[in-house]
Amino acid sequence: MPIRTIAVGIVLLTLAIVSADAYAVDLSVAIGQSFPATDTLADINEENADARACLEGLCWPRVKFAVDVEAAQPGKGDALVRFPSPRETGSEVNDRVAMQWYAARGEDGRAIKAPAVIVVHESGSGMTVGQLMAKGLRNQGLHTFMIQLPGYGLRKQNGVKDDGTGFLIRMKQAVADVRRARDAVAALPLVDAEHIAVQGTSLGGFVASDAAALDAGFDSVFLLLSGGDLNDIIHNGEREAAKVRERLEAAGIRGEQLAQLVGEIEPLRIAHRLNPERTWLYNGTYDNVVPLKNGVALAAAARLQPEHHVRMTANHYSGVIFIPYVLEHIRNGIDTADRLDMPPMNN
């Protein structure tokens, strides 16, 4: 699909989603307040030695922490949620996590109690698709929290150029941030903590899959344009994947060293820990950034049934036209996951 057509599709989709975002919801019950939270990360319980080693490299000591809610930046949701990263890098700017809160609202326009979704954005600096997903899922009646990954948005350090050396450090931090985000969101008013999901797109999909595999913290998982075998994707994927490869090689990270470092965050090592009944994966059949074969590899490792691995006739960019379908599918998936918890009916 031509780039111009994709760009027009993004504009039209943005207008359709933003049309329901003409006014902010009153979150005075939360803005200006600090809420206590505690890490609920479970103890590592894993028989597979390789998976256990991977988990040990991603987990962190559980502590209590504060969740602060501030006024939103213009055009960036209804409120801004901040909390400390569980994995510090020494940067005060980067180590304070930021999430854009798009509040679920009722027919009268007021904020309501509803399930929540942590939205993990793609690699683009504008986080455009992440914000589209957050707004679109909010319009499905869900509280959404688009988390700004390390080095993005409010966490970006001015004057600090990314030469690739910190990529893997930030990825580990991102995984921890997303999992802690679940506990931060659960501490907020209006959030139905009985169901907190995670959704990630592209780069965000890799982060989300690892964060969800740490334990059973998330009630449902939705991965868009994502997959497994990061070493293969970095070496053979085009566009964004190629840029990552170039930055890493420029930093002198290549070959066996690259494979070893990427292996520390490899989703395939721990994907078997995802609940196949509560996990959905969406891939483009013509994707040349995260090829379909890498999606198939992740689906196989997670033991997903065909109905949980959705294949879209699209590439990594034209897949934007499927977002309205994906948004509705996620809403239905959350409802399906909720029904799994329902006791059997008496006959």
Tens of pLDDT, residue by residue over 73-127, are 998 999 999 999 999 999 999 999 999 999 999 988 899 999 999 999 999 989 9
Give the number of domains in the chain. Answer: 1
Tens of pLDDT, residue by residue over 278-316, are 999 999 999 999 999 999 999 999 999 999 999 999 999
CATH number at residue 153: 3.40.50.1820
The strand pair at 220-224 and 143-148 is best described as: unpaired
- Tell me whether residue 346 is in a domain: no
Q: CB-based contacts of 43: which residues, under 8 Å, 6+ apart?
A: none
- Tell me whether residue 347 is in a domain: no
- Tell me whether residue 167 is in a domain: yes
- Tell me whether residue 177 is in a domain: yes
CA distances from 332 to 13, 31, 141, 220, 321 (A): 20, 30, 12, 11, 19
pLDDT band at 162 (very low <50, low <70, confident <90, very high): low
Of 108 and 141, which is predicted with more confidence?
A: 141
Contact 241, 231 (CB under 8 A): no
Q: Domain of 327?
A: 3-340
- Tell me whether residue 142 is in a domain: yes
pTM of the model: 0.92
pLDDT band at 264 (very low <50, low <70, confident <90, very high): very high
- Tell me whether residue 345 is in a domain: no
Angle between helix axes 167-186 and 49-58 (nearest 10 degrees) is 80
Comparing CA positions, the residue from 314, 241, 326 lying closest to residue 284 is 314
